[in-house]
Amino acid sequence: MMISILVFCLFVSRFSGIYGLSMNYYGMRCPMVEMLVRNTVNRALDSDPSLAAGLLRMHFHDCFVEGCDASVLLDSTKDNTGEKDSPANLSLRGYEVIDAAKDLIEDQCPGIVSCADIVAMAARDAVLWAGGPLYDIPKGRKDGRRSKIEDTRNLPSPFFNSSELISIFSKHGFSVQDMVSLSGAHTLGVARCSSFKNRLQKFDSSHEVDPTLDSTFASTLSKTCTAGDNAEVPFDQTRNFFDNSYFNGLRRSAGVLSSDQTLYSSPRTRGLVNAYAMNTARFFFDFQQAMVKMGLIDVKEGNQGEVRQNCRVIN
């Protein structure tokens, strides 16, 4: 365990100074920021544990569109429809948690801490609250000024196969291992029937139901989806706990989305699914490295960004 921690620390240290980011970026100017964010997240999750999935997913959807710049937080205006109103983002939750943390931080350190950093810290703290790994992240991101609905086409689709997932993740510098470990974030939260109902009937010319889906599980999903497209199904059996149950579910052909089950169906990714299903520590270690890496996607620096006073509007 100590060796793993040392290796991770060495991994993280490689990123200190990239884009002007550092672990102690706010050490002198806002030393209470970590505590303020963590306490806000913990209070929110104590009240509603399902928000852990929302905060983690928010960070992912932010970073994959225009980089990690809090563009997903910007409200739409009469002249512009923002990312948060895209169909791909309508299920995001936790905006009020970010707002609450920002208000507390602005009282203590006005104009210092970016919304992008708050999103990244909140996702990290949500993982820890839910039982996942403890890890640190570089800070110093700036907030972006662009948020357009059309940019959300860069998000991975729930209908992607493994080759498509590998391709879209590789465009952001991720390895196959990074992609599979980040997919493990689906250990938290739920999927809506609209994102997987195509697997349950008239799947293709040869199959009524997706043949990679366990028949009993398919029947359960079908019953749930009689309530409509917005009916929700947990990704795994421990929807509010961060563990490796998601990968064990894939081995039972109980992946909810096509983009989940394809990880086990594909020979290129099956070995990683098996490894994570059998070794929680390995999953946690690879996941935290991939999360640090994801938090560096297209980071804004200098005049490319700003520190918003209100996370929902540009200054």
83 is in an annotated binding site: yes
Phi, psi of 310 (to 5 degrees): -125, 125
Residue 105's SS3 state is helix
Q: Please name which of 70, 60, 57 lies closest in space to residue 142, comparing C-alpha atoms.
A: 70
- Any idea what DSSP says for residue 234? E
* Catalytic residue (one of 59, 61, 172, 207): 61
228 is in an annotated binding site: no
76 is in an annotated binding site: no
117 is in an annotated binding site: no
234 is in an annotated binding site: no
Residue 293's SS3 state is helix
131 is in an annotated binding site: no
226 is in an annotated binding site: no
Q: Taking the chain, what is the end-to-end CA distance rounded to the nearest angstrom?
A: 45
286 is in an annotated binding site: no
61 is catalytic: yes
Give me the sign of the Cα torsion angle 121, 258, 91, 307: positive
Report the distance separating Cα 155 and Cα 90, nearest Å: 13
233 is in an annotated binding site: no
Range list of H helices, 253-308:
258-265, 267-278, 280-294
Q: Are 186 and 235 in contact (CB under 8 A)?
A: yes
236 is in an annotated binding site: yes
Q: Are 62 and 56 in contact (CB under 8 A)?
A: no
2 C-beta neighbours (distance < 10 Å), count: 6
62 is in an annotated binding site: yes
Beta strands in the chain (DSSP E): 190-192, 232-234
152 is in an annotated binding site: no
- Sequence ranges of the binding site for Ca(2+): 62, 65, 67, 69, 71, 83, 187, 236, 238, 243
Residues with a catalytic annotation lie at: 61
- Sequence ranges of the binding site for heme b: 186
- Sequence ranges of the binding site: 62, 65, 67, 69, 71, 83, 156, 186-187, 236, 238, 243
- Sequence ranges of the binding site for substrate: 156
